[in-house]
């Protein structure tokens, strides 16, 4: 479904389903922030209270973790939102060809 990292193809290369009318907009970014925040915030608190690392070390490690998790989740959540729109026939997916 995706061409490149976040670009949605105009049509599915396998079945020919038109995908150009999706409306993912900022939804994947908001969901990514929500999920990463809910995963990393308790981990940061646990790591700080358990190991007491230097603040700069803690910030460096968790910054890398947040960026990595965000880069992993963003295209998957975009595909999920486009798939939900297709399944519910939203934004022109249900229109006759």
8 lies in some domain: no
Query: 39 lies in a domain?
Result: yes
pLDDT of 21 reads 86
Question: What's this model's pTM, rounded to 2 decimal places?
Answer: 0.88
Number of domains in the chain: 1
Distance CA 21, CA 45 (A): 42
Note whether residue 4 is domain-resident.
no
Domain assignment present for 12: no
pLDDT for the residue numbered 92: 81
In a domain, 19, yes or no: no
33 lies in some domain = yes
Is the pLDDT at 10 greater than 70? The verdict is yes
Domain that holds residue 34: 24-87
**What token pair was written down for 95?**
């229109």
């Amino acid at each position: 479904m995706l061409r490149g990292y976040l670009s949605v193809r105009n049509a599915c290369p396998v079945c020919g389903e038109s995908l150009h009318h999706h409306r993912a907009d900022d939804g994947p970014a908001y969901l990514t922030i929500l999920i990463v925040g809910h995963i990393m915030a308790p981990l940061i608190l646990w790591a700080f209270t358990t190991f007491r690392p230097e603040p700069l070390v803690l910030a460096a490690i968790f910054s890398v973790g947040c960026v990595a998790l965000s880069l992993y989740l963003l295209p998957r959540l975009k595909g999920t939102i486009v798939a939900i729109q297709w399944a519910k026939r939203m934004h022109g997916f249900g229109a006759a060809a």
